[in-house]
Structure 1
Amino acid sequence: MTLLQLALTFFSIGLFTIGGGQVAITLMQQSLVSTGIISQAQFYNMVAISESTPGPIGINMATYIGYELYGVPGALIVTGAQVLPSIIIILIIARFLKNFNDNLYVKGSLAFLRPVTTGLILVPVIQVIMFTLINVPESISVLTTIEGWKGLFNWICLAAYGVFVFLLFKVKLHPIAVILLGAVFGIVFL
């Protein structure tokens, strides 16, 4: 994939990302992993790094992928392509907002987009859980044995997930501290 093709890919992702960067993850995965530009493992590593760094995840992912594939110029061009549709749409909306603010069709379309966006956000959450915590068996017949069930989960990651959820919600540890602990855990145990 050339830099121009990558920029156009991220322009289209930016154009159709309604609901924020979490929705962009699904579109990026379909555009990058399914076409073989990057592997699934690389993609989830990029998601983890992009989630751990400040800023919107969609822009972080665009910057990271652009940099990984084409260096600093790639990072700048792909990031610009990712944000350009949003800038254009915001300028158009700002120009016509007063005219359409009370329009029933606009209200109806926005009401319909809420559940769709929720579903698009849920997809990468489930995919990350499946990739990190569950070892999907090649055949369902493996689950007919105790050993098959023992191998179903990545027990170290599942235990760490439980500990981090406890630290985040019960101990009220700051999310940045949890992210740093997660990075240290990954370096030490995985």
Structure 2
Amino acid sequence: MSLLQLAFTFFYIGLFTIGGGQVAITLMQQAIVSAGLISQEQFYNMIAISESTPGPIGINMATYIGYELYGVPGALIVTCAQVLPSIIIILIIARFLKSFNDNPFVKGSLAFLRPVTTGLILVPVIQVIMFTLINPPESLSVLTTLEGWKGLFNPIPIAAYGVFVFLLFKVKLHPIGVIILGAVFGIVFL
């Protein structure tokens, strides 16, 4: 797939992603993994990294995939292609918002899109669970033993998670501070 084809693919994904970046993950997987550009395991690693970096996951994924396949120019072009449909649609909606606001067809369409969006968000969640726990790749084959499952549900990271949630919601520590503490914890203890 050429850079132009990749940009068009992400323009298409951006155009039909109603409901946010989580919905885009399903479309990206169908377009990128099924085309053989990256493996399923690479794709799920990209999801994890894109979730943990600041910004919308759909844009983070587009940037990451563009960079992996075509370097910095690929990252810039693919990210712009992902965002461009949203910008165009927002400008059109802003222009005609008053006339659309009370239209029963618009209200009905939005009511219909809510459950569809929920389903599209649920698909990658189920796929990641099945990929990592039920049908793990060779890198996670340790999960087929009892020791592997103990490693997955290690009490130390679970306790750390509880501490981080407490710091985030009760102490009101800034999320960046929690991310930094989590990174330090992972480097030191895991």
Shorter-normalised TM range: 0.7 to 0.9
TM-score (norm 1): 0.79
Q: Which residue does 2:17 correspond to in 1?
A: 17
**1:35 deviation in Å?**
1.8
Are 1:136 and 2:131 matched, yes or no? no
**1:174 deviation in Å?**
5.8
Larger mean CA deviation between 74-83 and 27-36 belongs to 27-36
Q: Which residue does 2:85 correspond to in 1?
A: 85
Q: Which residue does 2:60 correspond to in 1?
A: 60
Distance in 1 between residues matched to 2:108 and 2:19, nearest whole Å:
16
Distance in 2 between residues matched to 1:89 and 1:106, nearest whole Å:
14
Q: Percent identity?
A: 76
What are the Cα deviations for residues 9-31 of structure 1, in whole angstroms up to 9, with x where unaligned?
A: 10011001101111111111111
Q: Which residue does 1:141 correspond to in 2?
A: none
Q: Which residue does 1:51 correspond to in 2?
A: 51
Distance in 1 between residues matched to 2:26 and 2:183, nearest whole Å:
23
Unaligned runs of 5+ in 2: 137-143
Conserved in 2, the CA contact under 8 Å of 1:164 and 1:178?
no
Are 1:26 and 2:26 matched, yes or no? yes
**1:69 deviation in Å?**
0.7
Q: Which residue does 2:162 correspond to in 1?
A: 166
Distance in 1 between residues matched to 2:152 and 2:181, nearest whole Å:
13
Structure 1 segment 118-137 matched on structure 2, within 5 A: 118-132=118-132, 134-136=133-135
Conserved in 2, the CA contact under 8 Å of 1:67 and 1:75?
yes
TM-score (norm 2): 0.79
Q: Which residue does 2:141 correspond to in 1?
A: none
- Residue type of the partner of 1:40? Q
Q: Secondary structure at the match of 2:54?
A: coil
Distance in 2 between residues matched to 1:164 and 1:16, nearest whole Å:
39
Decide whether aligned partners of structure 1 residues 166 and 5 sit closer, same or farther in structure 2, where only a CA change above 3 A counts. same
Unaligned runs of 5+ in 1: 138-147
What are the Cα deviations for residues 68-107 of structure 1, in whole angstroms up to 9, with x where unaligned?
A: 1111111111011000100111111111111110011100
Decide whether aligned partners of structure 1 residues 176 and 81 sit closer, same or farther in structure 2, where only a CA change above 3 A counts. same
